Amino acid sequence: MMELTIPNQRVKLLGLDFGSTTSSALVAEASVTSNCITGRMEFGEPKIVFKSTSVFTPFIQQHIDEVAIAELIRQWLTQSGLDSIFAGGSIITGLAAQSRNAAAITKLVRELVGETVIATAQDPCLESWLAFMGSCSDLSRYHGDALILNLDIGGGTTNLALGKQGDVLQTGCYFIGARHFQFVPGGYQLIVASEYGLALLREFGIDKGAGETLSAEECEQIMNYYCQALEAIVQGESKFFATTLGKKHEQVAFSLAPDSPPPKITFSGGVGELIYQHMASEGLPNTTYYGDFGIDLARAIIASPILSRDLRDYVPENRGRATVYGLTLHSTEISGTTLFLPKPECLPLRDVPIVSKLPVTATFEQWLVALTLAMHREQGACVQIIGELGGLNDIRVLGQRIAQSLKQCAYPAHQPLVILVEANIGKVLGNYATDWTKSGLNVLVIDEIPIRDAHFVNIGRVHQQIVPISFFGLH
């Protein structure tokens, strides 16, 4: 007897991380499988099959070196022996994410890697989310009752994500990082400072520029500022950033709820890597070995009783590579297997705007408004349904309401309308919404997709009865 099962094929996932300081690539292999506990489809038994060395992101002054980046991507693809990519992500962060740079990298990624990988830039909340998922996702489920605040400190930014039981609850981003000052390695002779670095020098009355050496006191002043800023964030003291200097450093504000219990603090990113390296008694490299403040910042954090309070008991994974792990293993969601997909040939759908998020109880008028918005997106649009449906009657009512709204606004038959739902009701909702397919509309109901507060979604081709989904443009 033939059972409705999914063959357990392995797929390849790719992550590319272009940061202010370093860039790296990761390739994982996983099965697309149903979790034997939750029943949800997931990437099972992920295994890293290629991990590039972290290389300095190639810049020519402030601009990305496109030729070198292209060569880097080609090299990674060759080294990893990647023949086909099921899904993946590429993120461009910090200094590399300046608009001209980002556009160049995005174009290169699309040309060289293909359409299955999303390429995003200047998406600080996505970056925070990815870093948390790459470093603390499992740890936060292990400590199920604890709130975990991960600080991903790289060259340009500190990306914060507060999470619990594997879910990110809140994100933020500050221009605090190792590479706002670049030095000649081995000392503090300044090569260049970013605009945020320059602002700090001005604030502290340090009138020094390229070629000049910062004194120990001056370095300490800067480290103190960074530490105080981080301490303020983790303690929910938002007034620290009320000053002009503070405001300048705040890209996306992060404020802990006043009644929130103190979160457990973890670190990732390049500075996080150094912190845990030191905690494992592996020592730290020599002064400004990397030509920036990374080592100093790590030491300052370890010396802060507030920031270092959980370093021993809450040890995250992947640290320096948290973002690229997050990208590779967590940036793609997998739909359920019983999705409603009358015209599978319309896939993949890229950059589909999420035009509306409607509660399950949304009225006919609300649906009409949402669908009218969606109709203006000829390439397809998406509506997310939020909340839990009670039972069969609720689904019937919702399906019929969608059917009436589609009819009322004369929704074009060819135009894809993507409906995302969390519950496993894709097929039944799609059937009721299209009068058991008789309406002929290209309505896609993709189920078992966790709600993400995003602006866009990409939907990949059908593979073993599922589709891969990636969100970007996170709030």
Q: Which stretch binds other proteins (CB under 8 A): 133-141, 201-209, 230-238, 371-379?
A: 133-141
> In the stretch 273-292, what mask flags binding to other proteins with x, by CB under 8 A?
--------------------
Interacting positions 40-79 with other proteins (CB under 8 A):
44-45
**C-beta of 371: minimal distance to other proteins in Å?**
21
Other beta carbons less than 10 A from residue 162's beta carbon: 23
- Rounded to whole angstroms, the Cα distance separating 352 from 456 reads 5
- Closer Cβ to other proteins, 117 or 395, answer by number: 395
Query: Which residues from 416-455 bind other proteins, rule CB under 8 A?
Result: 423-428, 430-431, 435-438, 447
Rounded Cα distance between 69 and 102, Å, is 12
- Nearest partner of 298 among 317, 321, 270, 318, judged by Cα: 270
SS3 per-residue string spanning 191-205: EEECHHHHHHHHHCC
Q: Quick check: 309 and 275 in contact, CB under 8 A?
A: no
Q: Smallest distance, Å, CB 87 to other proteins?
A: 17
Burial (Cβ within 10 Å: 0-12, 13-18, ≥19) of residue 236: middle
Dihedral, 136, 9, 32, 327 alpha carbons, nearest 10: 40
CB of 255 to other proteins, least distance (A): 28
In the list 10, 51, 110, 143, the residue contacting other proteins (rule: CB under 8 A) is 143
Which one of 83, 195, 391, 410 is in contact with other proteins (CB under 8 A)? 391
Among 168, 265, 300, 395, indicate the residue that binds other proteins (CB under 8 A).
Answer: 395
For residue 446, the minimal CB distance to other proteins (Å) is 11
Place of tokens 């970007």: 472
Binding other proteins (rule: CB under 8 A), the pick from 80, 236, 465, 473 is 465
Q: Which of 67, 142, 359, 379 is close enough to bind other proteins by CB under 8 A?
A: 142
Closer residue to other proteins, CB minimum distance, 47 or 202:
47
Fill in the per-residue mask, 311 to 350: x = in contact with other proteins (CB under 8 A), - = not in contact.
Answer: ----xxx--------------------xxxxx-x------
| Minimum distance from residue 273 beta carbon to other proteins (Å) | 15
Q: State how far the Cα of 371 lies from the Cα of 356, in Å rounded to an integer.
A: 9
Q: Does 392 bind other proteins (CB under 8 A)?
A: yes
* Cβ atoms 417, 439 nearer than 8 A: no
In the complex with other proteins, the residue whose CB is nearer, 36 or 410, is 36
Kindly determine how many residues on this chain lie close enough to bind other proteins according to the rule CB under 8 A.
Answer: 48
Closer by beta carbon to other proteins, 170 or else 465: 465
Q: Which residues contact 104 (CB under 8 A, 6 or more apart)?
A: 64, 66, 69
- Cα–Cα distance between 466 and 339 in angstroms, integer? 7
Helix axes 124-142 and 322-330, enclosed angle (nearest 10): 80
Per-residue CA distances from 423 to 25, 84, 428, 435 (Å) = 34, 30, 11, 20
Query: What residues make contact with other proteins under the rule CB under 8 A?
Result: 1-4, 8, 33-37, 39, 44-45, 137-139, 141-143, 315-317, 338-342, 344, 391-392, 395, 423-428, 430-431, 435-438, 447, 462-465
